[in-house]
Amino acid sequence: MTPTPAAPTTPARNWRKLRPVLWLVLAFGLLDCAARWTAPVWERHSPDDYAARVEGCRREPRDFILVGGSPVSEGFDPDAMTGLAWQGVPLANGYAVGLPGGTLTDIAVAVRHAAPTPPRLVIYGASATDVNDARNEPHGPYSLYDAADVAQVCRTRADVRVWTVRRYAEGRFRRVSAIYRHRHGLKMAAADALEAQSPGACPQAAKEAIGLRDYADALRVGRGYAPAAWFADARYDLRKAAAAPFAPFDFLDKYRTGSHWRYFAALREWCAGRGVALVVVEMPVTADLEAKYPGPTAEFRALLDMLPADGIPVLRARREALNLTDADYADTIHLNRAGAAKLSAWTRDAVNALPHAGGGAR
């Protein structure tokens, strides 16, 4: 009589059931480690421009730093500011830390991280969009903030405590997996490689991938001025004449100030505590934008009017002073390359003309 095989023990049965899951977890872990190890490839195809500009700035000590939102990222070229000086000392090595969509809160945080060695001069290119409390940019907490920054926001801006902590936590959670974090870069790199092997296979994705790759390269090797391809050579006057569509602009809607503006004090204190001079430049915008948002424009300028009394020079880079026309803009607020060259040269000359011991608005 043939003996009946003994039934597998409970631990053996459980192992048999769990083994595929464990193999799957191990395979994912290995792939995730590979994605983390090859991160520069994926970041090149989907750059984090906030982190890239901050890291680029802190690579070496800088003589001056240009900071602000997207009007600064598109409007200031440090290479066009040759001849800038402060208190008789030439400032040759500058860097532009422009944060597209960034608020004044993000800008102040970025300065702290971008300049471990304090520069001689910080030029803040101020825009009305920076201080609109109706908007907050999640990219800042996700990409730039550390725990100390979150704690400071909670102390300084009680109105956004929960929002800031949530965005910061989400950012940290997403970094647990390199595959998830670099998922867009993986997609763009695959499109780039496929298009190289089979031209025409995915033209739209490949075009986006090439654009992002060029943008990442410009951020990595330059001094922060890496204009977006859709802004660099565009002309607002021609686009208007052709009735071209523009992306919705709601950054000045529901305008109110007060909370973000508290971070100007943080920026000023950071500069004062390190012996860094601070100059504010009111960024020029088109007449169309001013006409559409007269209230926010007036409220923003009233905030800047208070700064000279505290010894903060304010340079009014108005269109008339710079001889800017709609041909120098890509849209209602962003300068193209020609406009950036004019603004950069004007700012250099205006800073050089300051008495360098304080000063009022120009």
Exposed (0-12), middle (13-18) or buried (19+): which is 123, by Cβ within 10 Å?
A: buried
Max CA distance (Å), the chain: 109
List the beta bridge partners of residue 277: 121
Separation between Cα atoms, residue 120 and residue 74, nearest integer Å: 23
pTM value is 0.89
Chain mean pLDDT for the chain:
90
Which backbone phi and psi does 262 adopt, to 5 degrees?
-60, -25
For the record, the structure tokens of 105 come out as 């809160």
Residue 253 pLDDT class (50, 70, 90 cuts): very high
Tell me the per-residue pLDDT of 315-352, one tens digit each, with 9 for 90 and over. Answer: 999 999 999 999 999 999 999 999 999 999 999 999 99
Residue 362 pLDDT class (50, 70, 90 cuts): very low
Separation between Cα atoms, residue 290 and residue 18, nearest integer Å: 64
CATH 1.10.10.10 correct for 47-137+222-352: no
pLDDT of residue 15: 66
Which sequence spans correspond to the domains of the chain? 47-137+222-352
How far, in whole angstroms, is CA 335 from its chain's centroid?
16
CB atoms closer than 10 angstroms to residue 192: 20
pLDDT of residue 359: 38
Residue % of the chain over a pLDDT of 90: 66
Separation between Cα atoms, residue 148 and residue 157, nearest integer Å: 14
Q: Which residues contact 119 (CB under 8 A, 6 or more apart)?
A: 61, 62, 63, 64, 65, 276
Residue 28: pLDDT over 60: yes
Separation between Cα atoms, residue 183 and residue 175, nearest integer Å: 11
Residue % of the chain over a pLDDT of 70: 94
